Structure 1
Amino acid sequence: MHELNSNGSPESLKNGDFTEANDPIGLFSEWLAEASLSEINDPNAMALATADSDLMPNVRMVLLKGFDGEGFVFYTNSQSAKGEELAANAKAALVFHWKSIRRQVRVRGTVEMVTTEEADAYFATRPLQSRIAASASRQSRPLDSRAVFERAMEEVKERFPGEDIPRPSHWNGYRVVPISIEFWHDRPYRMHDRIAFTRPTRDAAWAKTRLYP
């Protein structure tokens, strides 16, 4: 898996006509690396769209924490709104929009949880205060005041003195397994370049189509 380094970018960066690419994951890696050179904050930020059991859509920004041929990984509280929506309807869409380089990537696919080992390993890399907050937060639930949240964080610190804060069972990683990945690049006068990679299943080969802008 491509793990994101301290500035959010993968190691590699290549040049060329992106419409000639045949590997969508490799192309995404190049675009993310290029975006990391010019985006002011969080080039790995992505809009995550889900739907609840009534198919009512919902969308919010989250951070990509890793990706490879198996999919795009993010972490969250499984008891949050997004976690409950994914439990009811394990499908999602992602959008990366890098205004500084005038590019966009759209992803659609099914969603699965990462392994316990993957979630534990990532949680251990988070700053101490972030691990405490993740343990104390009842994400998406009503909160009477910030003081209530701060007290809950203090209780976590009392239960787990020092820096050994275990990953809460409700805090997990999710992998969006893509069935489609679309790349869009802005051009003057709406002469944009746009290509889509699609596959019916995760084991199938990618098919590429150029689209009208």
Structure 2
Amino acid sequence: MADGDAVGSLRMPPEDSFGLRVDGGVRGAVGRSPAALTIGNPKETLMSIRRTLAVLATAAALTLVAASPALAASPHFVSASASATGATLTVKFKEAGLGANQEIVYEAKATLNADYGCVNKGGNRPSDPKKTHIEQDVTETDTFSSGKNGQITASITLSAPTASEVLSCPPGQTATTFLVEWTNVSITDTTNNVKRDIPGTF
């Protein structure tokens, strides 16, 4: 057989038999320029796609985690109460919806009504006692962290001035607190501007 006949009788196998892929995903003629053909490896292509998807998923997850505290935050007091012991008032409270690990500043406030007077060594009030009455607002602030659950349960204590701070008695007499009452009690989350009034006299 002549060389020309041998060449003419050869048939080129399909391009896919050589693992060839035409750029753009569209098959072309066998005679297409080699520059338009690339060696295809399905396993490498699949791994590349998986790596890309993993990177995108990780980025999306990080974005959601960063945004979650702001989206979840809805500060509100679940409960608030007050109790008096001697010359002090303790305000207890629980607040939720703060977001995780937030530093929150609270202010406890109440109106104090107190009577002070002098007593002698026998513990009795003199016939012409020296006394005084005060009415004033008392406030205390403190800072607490919400932790992982976005809640804070805590208390703040208010104290009335001592008798010796507001009254000076004659020699032989002692300044004494006769009466302490608290009204208009409230607790305020000053960080988020959320307030809860606690009605009653304590």
TM-score (norm 2): 0.27
Between structures 1 and 2, the one with greater strand share: 2
> Greater Rg, structure 1 or structure 2?
2
TM-score normalised to structure 1 length? 0.26
